[in-house]
Amino acid sequence: MEEGVTATQVVFWILAVVMLISAIGVVTAGNIVYAALFFIASLAGVAGIYLILTVEFIALVQLLIYGSAVVILILFALMLTRARERPQALFGRSRPLGIAAALGLLAALIGGIVATTWTTPESSTAFEPVGLQAIGDAIFTLWIVPFIIVGVLLSIALDGAIMLASPDEDDN
């Protein structure tokens, strides 16, 4: 780590800059479809950083669940809830206050990070890539009960979403 900037760090910073610029695009874009497209770019940046951190499984899950399923759901919701008659203001009245609060939060977080001394492992051999088999062992032995609960939660949530969004015949 001391011999200077390695290629991994260069790739990390490129991905980080792409991710952060896309994230700024998500929260400032004047068009809601552009915001969704910026969101896809930001998710791809996060997946790239997962790859740099040698967790391919989470990168794959990120691309498959976030990059496809969640983004398609959000695009559908954007198309279904677009008000047709008048152009809408996309920002609320409390925008300056919100920006100030976010900047304060950022200052607090970065201050906390800088004030703490982190121990980074010395040699790059300390980073062993986490294999798929190890993750599967952990999920299906140590974390099996949370895994089952999260599966039940997911199916209940999806059923509830269908219930909420489906039209009811008795009301109208």
Partner 1 sequence: MPPLEHILVVNAVLFAIGAMGVLTRRNAVLILLSVELMLNAVSLNMVAFAVYGHVDFGNITGIVFAFFIIVIAAAEVALALGIVVRTFRNRATANVDEVNLLKW
Based on the shown chain and the rule CB under 8 A, indicate whether residue 23 belongs to the binding site for partner 1: yes
Contact by Cβ (8 Å): 49, 12: yes
The Cα diameter of the chain in Å comes to 71
Number of residues counted as binding partner 1 (CB under 8 A): 91
Contacting residue, 4, 30, 87, 121, with partner 1 by CB under 8 A: 121
Based on the shown chain and the rule CB under 8 A, indicate whether residue 134 belongs to the binding site for partner 1: yes
**Could you tell me the two tokens for 171?**
């009301």
**CA angle centred on 73, ends 166 and 68, rounded to 5°:** 145
Contact by Cβ (8 Å): 40, 84: no
Contact by Cβ (8 Å): 20, 50: no
Contacting residue, 18, 114, 122, 169, with partner 1 by CB under 8 A: 114
Q: What is the DSSP string of 31-49?
A: SHHHHHHHHHHHHHHHHHH
Based on the shown chain and the rule CB under 8 A, indicate whether residue 61 belongs to the binding site for partner 1: yes
Based on the shown chain and the rule CB under 8 A, indicate whether residue 56 belongs to the binding site for partner 1: no
What lies within 8 Å, CB to CB, of 120 at 6+ separation is 1
Residues in 66-85 that interact with partner 1 by CB under 8 A: 66, 69-70, 73-74, 76-78, 80-83
Based on the shown chain and the rule CB under 8 A, indicate whether residue 14 belongs to the binding site for partner 1: no
Based on the shown chain and the rule CB under 8 A, indicate whether residue 51 belongs to the binding site for partner 1: no
Based on the shown chain and the rule CB under 8 A, indicate whether residue 44 belongs to the binding site for partner 1: no
Based on the shown chain and the rule CB under 8 A, indicate whether residue 125 belongs to the binding site for partner 1: no
Based on the shown chain and the rule CB under 8 A, indicate whether residue 144 belongs to the binding site for partner 1: no
